[in-house]
Amino acid sequence: MNLTGNLLIGASEVPASEGTMKALNPATNQLIEPDFAFGGVADVDKAAKLADEAFDHYSHTSLAERSAFLERIADNLDAVSQELAARATLETGLPEAQLQGEAAKAATQFRQFADVVRKGRFLQLAIDPAQPDRQPRPRMDHRLQKIAIGPVAVFGASNFPISYSVAGGDTASALASGATVIVKAHNAHPGASEIQARAIRQAVQDSGLPEGVFSMVRGGGNAIGEALVDHPLIKAVTFTGSEQGGMALYRRAQLRPDPIPVFTEMTSVNPTFILPQALAARGAQIGDGFVERMLVNVGQACLKPAILIAVDGAGFEALRAAMVKRVTDAPARPMLTPGIHGAYLSGLDRLQSTGANLVAVGSVAHADLDGRSALLEVDGQRFLAENALAHEVFGPAGLLVKVKDETEMFAVARSLRGQLSATLHLEEADLDLARRLLPVLERRTGRIVVNAFAHPQEVSFATIHGGPFPASSDSRFTSVGMTSIERFLRPVTYQGFPDALLPEALRELNPLGLPRSVEGQ
């Protein structure tokens, strides 16, 4: 595919209006051709107007038509998967085989959402038939379905250049809901973003849909993102990234004349608790596995296990030794961007300045943006005294928290902020302790894992990728999995409608054969 670097606004190829950029290869710290366009407020306005014009048509497409459209996107992504993975590798320094898996995952998500749409359960159809003879007051016929909330702005993430980017789960779930989508592509991987955007746009054209169903914009600073959040035609926003960035968008959206939801996935240290009997039985195995998962994506994963909590007792020294060995043997690898690399080094300095001891480092970095792995250690008392120790360090570093007893372990658990996930390693003899710890963790996370690690994550109906603040801005929703579609839906009741005027899914004879609740049954 010939990369043009243009913005893709509806069916139009839009050249730069606010300057250009080149992609950076973090492995070599060299720029890569071609130039990629930066747009501005006028480009956002054009995309938003097209999205709004397309919304009424697209949101009322049949379930069959919409699911076929999502499957066309999946087919198009499969067709460019090798080219996409190769370009993403140049722009991220991540292994090409890993990115081929990510491309396959992106296509799979679109097919999964096509199945969700086809089955129609997301509409949550409910019927309360009329009761004209009810006393003392008759009841009119009431019928409810969920509809799309409106045009959605999706902010692409830096760390997963495909599955959390232009063709990621946010775009797939929003399009599945019937929303039109404008993606703000992340500048860390502009070529990979363009390849994905063209695959989606081609599916829009081949499906005979209005051009405004999908657009992709890009900007050099905050202005284009702020314009998306501010635009009165945008009705919801998704964001994956830092707490600072996510909360800036969230607060801005609440200051609009018509506040809109901003669904953020921000920061998490994904704490791992090793209960005493598990520590004694397999401390070394758990420690090795923890560091292995910590180093995935050079530690640049939202589900990276970053903090491990264990009681200083039988098995602790074996745990610690295994972690030290795995970290020491780890090669330095390029991080995604200069900004992320710099923030990682600052994060390590912050941990040490607040009392954590550096106990192991990986192989020496040979390139400018290489991330060198690190293991730090702190006792429970110090951890509880310094809030900064519980904050995320985005990169290949982990913190071992040595607590003196179960009471201190509970205190550490209660001190944690909201998390995307938490992990328990336990044996049968630890079950009573686990039962007491479980309510503490349930209040602080959206997913609890036993005898495994939170990463990787399945994309399924039972998946939750969210949690109490600051893991996300609204713990009622997930940004991964089939139920992520619920972010972009709102209920509408049709009262007293003649059957011919009702949406097809709510008509009396149920012509689509969809699951419906009637009088709560």
Q: State the CATH number of the domain containing residue 278.
A: 3.40.309.10
Report the pLDDT value the prediction gives residue 444, as an integer from 0 to 100: 98
Question: Residue holding tokens 């985005």?
Answer: 394
Sign of CA pseudo-dihedral 85, 88, 89, 95: negative
Q: Report residue 204's pLDDT band, with 50, 70 and 90 as the boundaries.
A: very high
Instruction: Tell me what the pLDDT averaged over the chain comes to.
Output: 97
211 shares a domain with 290: no
- Which residue type occupies 311? V
Distance CA 84, CA 168 (A): 13
Q: Cα–Cα distance between 423 and 447 in angstroms, integer? A: 8
What is the reported pLDDT for 455? 78
Query: Rounded to 10 degrees, what is the CA torsion of 257, 55, 190, 13?
Result: -110
Q: Is the pLDDT of residue 112 over 90?
A: yes
Read off the pLDDT of residues 413-422 as tens digits, 9 standing for 90 and up. Answer: 999 999 999 9
- What is the per-residue pLDDT across 466-515, written as a single tens digit (0 to 9) for each? 999 999 999 999 999 999 999 999 999 999 999 999 999 999 999 999 99
Q: Are residues 303 and 228 in the same domain?
A: no
In the sheet with 181-184, reading across from the earlier edge strand, the strands are 12-14, 7-9, 214-217, 181-184, 152-155, 236-240, 262-265
- Residue 198 shares a structural domain with residue 277: no
The residue type found at 305 is P
pLDDT of residue 452: 96
- Alpha-carbon gap, residue 214 to 197, rounded angstroms: 8
Cα 190 to chain centroid, rounded:
19
In Å, how far from its chain's centre is CA 111? 18
The tens digit of pLDDT for each residue in 141-194 reads 999 999 999 999 999 999 899 989 999 999 999 999 999 999 999 999 999 999
Residues 105 and 163 sit within 8 Å (Cβ to Cβ) = yes
Cβ atoms of 303 and 294 closer than 8 Å: no
Q: Which helix (H) or strand (E) holds 378?
A: strand 374-379
CB count within 10 Å of CB 378 equals 22
Residues 149 and 260 in one domain: yes
Question: What angle (nearest 5°) sits at the alpha carbon of residue 214, between those of residues 213 and 220?
Answer: 145
The answer to whether position 416 is within a domain reads yes
Question: What pLDDT does 457 receive?
Answer: 84
- The verdict on 114 and 249 lying in the same domain is yes
Asked whether residue 317 carries a pLDDT value surpassing 90, the answer given is yes
Verify whether residue 265 is a known catalytic residue: yes
Q: Which percentage of the chain shows pLDDT scores above 70?
A: 100
265: pLDDT strictly greater than 90: yes
Residue 3 located in a structural domain: no
Question: By three-state DSSP, how is residue 154 classified?
Answer: strand
102 is a domain residue: yes
Q: Which residues contact 338 (CB under 8 A, 6 or more apart)?
A: 24, 26, 369
In a domain, 382, yes or no: yes
- If phi > 0 it is left, if psi is from -120 to 50 it is alpha, else beta; for residue 481 that is left
| Residue pair 238/170 in contact by the 8 Å Cβ criterion | yes
Helix or strand (DSSP H, E) at 12:
strand 12-14
Structure tokens of 415? 């001190």
In a shared domain, residues 211 and 303 = no
443 and 371 in a common domain: yes
Give Cα separations from 254 to 262, 470, 479, 490 (angstroms).
9, 17, 20, 18
pTM over 0.85: yes
- Before 34, cis peptide (omega within 30)? yes
Residues 287 and 408 in one domain: yes
Residues near 466 by beta carbon (within 8 Å), at least 6 away in sequence: 265, 420, 446, 472, 474, 475, 477, 478, 479
* 431 shares a domain with 486: no
Query: How many Å apart are CA 128 and CA 74, to the nearest integer?
Result: 38
Q: Looking at the 3D structure of the chain, how many domains does it have?
A: 2
pLDDT digits (tens, 9 = 90+) for 349-397: 999 999 999 999 999 999 999 999 999 999 999 999 999 999 999 999 9
Residue 1 has pLDDT above 90, yes or no: no
Instruction: State the catalytic residue, choosing from 265, 377, 392, 408.
Output: 265
Q: Are strands 422-425 and 397-403 parallel, antiparallel or unpaired?
A: unpaired
Question: Looking at the structure, do residues 206 and 171 belong to the same domain, yes or no?
Answer: yes
pLDDT in the model for residue 74: 98
Residue 446: CB atoms within 10 Å: 23
Could you count the other beta carbons within 10 Å of the beta carbon of residue 222?
12
Q: Which distant-in-sequence residues (6+ apart) come within 8 Å of 475 by Cβ?
A: 418, 446, 466, 467, 468, 469
Average pLDDT of the segment spanning 328-344: 97
Domain that holds residue 223: 41-120+142-266+473-493
CA atoms within 13 A on the CB side of 288: 8
* 289 lies in the same domain as 217: no
| Alpha-carbon gap, residue 409 to 402, rounded angstroms | 9
* Displacement of CA 454 from its chain's centroid (Å): 14
Q: Are residues 358 and 425 in the same domain?
A: yes
Does the residue 422 lie in any domain?
yes
Q: Is residue 2 part of a domain?
A: no
Last residue of a domain, one of 416, 450, 484: 450
Catalytic, out of 91, 102, 243, 302? 302
Question: Quick one: pLDDT at residue 456?
Answer: 81
Q: Hey, is 454 helix, strand or coil?
A: coil
Read off the pLDDT of each residue in 13-21 and give the average, rounded to a whole number: 97
Which one-letter amino acid corresponds to residue 328? T
> For 86-102, how does the pLDDT look when each residue is reduced to its tens digit (9 = 90+)?
999 999 999 999 999 99
Output the pLDDT for position 369: 96
Compute CA distances 62 → 176, 177, 504, whole Å: 11, 12, 9
CATH number at residue 109: 3.40.605.10
Q: What's the confidence (pLDDT) of residue 325?
A: 98
Residue with tokens 């250690």: 377
CA distance 303 to 290: 12
Tell me if 131 is assigned to some domain.
no
Residue 500 lies in a domain: no
Cα separation, 240 vs 156, whole angstroms:
7
